Amino acid sequence: MRISIVTPNYNGARFLAQALDSVREQRRDVPDLEYIVVDGGSTDGSLDLLRARAPEIDRLISEPDRGPASAINKGLALARGEVLGWLNADDRLHPGALARALAGFAAHPRGALGFGGCRIVDETGREIRRGITRFKAAFHPFSCRFLIQTINYISQPATFFRRSAFERAGPLREDLKAAFDYDLFLRLWRHGGAFRIAGAPLADFRWRPDSISGRKFREQFREEWEAARRDAGRWAPQTLLHACVRRGIVAIYGRMAKRREDRRAPAGDPR
C-alpha cells in the first residue's frame, strides 16, 4: 500500500530540515512512500535546502499559492498513494509512524481516516503543553462522530486518510485560515469513519507564538465551531456543546497568552 505525504512550505527554512529528516527515516519501514513538497516561492533559503536534498523528494513544486490550504490541495491533487497525509514544514514524524499508519488502514479496510497521539513541542523541540496533550488523548478511546463534532481532539500531524474517502469528501477549504484540517476531517468521517492508531505518539506538532495556532487561536476555534455546525446542524446537541467547549478553551488560551505577554514585558512596564 502506497502512502503519500505532502509538505507545504513558505519561508520555513528554520525547521524544514527536521521535517525532511523525519520523512526520510520513514523509508526504512515504508519503501512505497511518495513525498511531495509544495513551496510557495520562499526567499529564505528553503529552496536551496530542498534542491540540495532533491533525491529525498519525489516531486518538488515552487510557485506562488494562496496559503497553506492551497499548497496542500495542490500536493494532494498530484499524490498517487492509497493513503494520504500532510506534514507542515515545522512539524515532524516519529520513527515508524507511517508504517504504523499503514498497518492501521490494513486492519480497518473501510476506515476513512486514522489518527494517533501527537506531542506538542516548542521551537527547540522540547515537549510542552502536556496537559493539553493528555486532555485530547483522553477522548481517543471513546472516539465517535458525535464526539468529534463536539470537540476537536485529533492532531493533524498524526492523522492520515484514505484517498478514496478524500476524493468523495473534496479538497481542503481554502477560505478557512486555521481550521481547514478539522473541517476536512469532519467531511472525511462521513465516508467510512475513523479509527485510532494506539501506542506511542506518531508525530510532533511545533507550537510557536507566531504560528497560526499561536496568533489566531480565537479565529481557529470560531472556524472549528462553524465547521461542526455545518456538519451536525445548527441546533444539534453536539453543536451547542461545541459552543460551550469553544468558550472555555478560548478563555484558557487567552489567559495563557496574557501570561506570555506579561513575562515578555520589560521591568517597570505598566502592563
- Out of 3.90.550.10, 1.10.3720.10, 3.40.50.1110, 3.40.50.11540, which CATH number does the structure's domain 1-91 have? 3.90.550.10
3-state SS assignment for residue 245: helix
Look at residues 172, 249, 244 and name the one whose alpha carbon lies nearest to residue 218. Answer: 249
Identity of the residue numbered 222: R
Which comes out higher in pLDDT, residue 262 or 246?
246
- pLDDT category, 13, cuts 50, 70, 90? very high
Q: What percent of the chain has pLDDT over 70?
A: 96
Which comes out higher in pLDDT, residue 216 or 92?
92
CB 194 within 8 A of CB 148: yes
pLDDT tens digits for range 213-228: 666 788 999 999 999 9
pLDDT (0 to 100) of residue 263: 76
Average pLDDT value for residue range 34-61: 96
Q: Which residues, in sequence order, are CB contacts of 92 under 8 Å at separation 6+?
A: 18, 19, 21, 22, 157, 203, 204, 206
pLDDT (0 to 100) of residue 255: 87
The one-character DSSP state at 38 is E
Global pTM reads: 0.93
Return residue ranges of the chain for CATH 3.90.550.10.
Answer: 1-91, 108-264
Average pLDDT value for residue range 161-181: 97
Average pLDDT, rounded, for the chain: 94
pLDDT (0 to 100) of residue 258: 81
Indicate whether 267 pLDDT > 90.
no
- Give domain 108-264's CATH superfamily: Spore Coat Polysaccharide Biosynthesis Protein SpsA; Chain A (3.90.550.10)
Indicate whether 52 pLDDT > 60.
yes
Report the C-alpha dihedral over residues 40, 87, 177, 138, rounded to 10 degrees: -170
Report the C-alpha dihedral over residues 100, 101, 106, 109, rounded to 10 degrees: 150
Indicate whether 271 pLDDT > 50.
no
Which comes out higher in pLDDT, residue 200 or 270?
200
Q: Distance (Å, rounded) from C-alpha 120 to C-alpha 205?
A: 5
pLDDT tens digits for range 110-153: 999 999 999 999 999 999 999 999 999 999 999 999 999 999 99
53-57, 73-77, 262-266: segment of lowest average pLDDT: 262-266
pLDDT (0 to 100) of residue 257: 78
H helix runs in 53-110, sequence order: 68-78, 97-107
pLDDT (0 to 100) of residue 210: 74
The one-character DSSP state at 34 is E
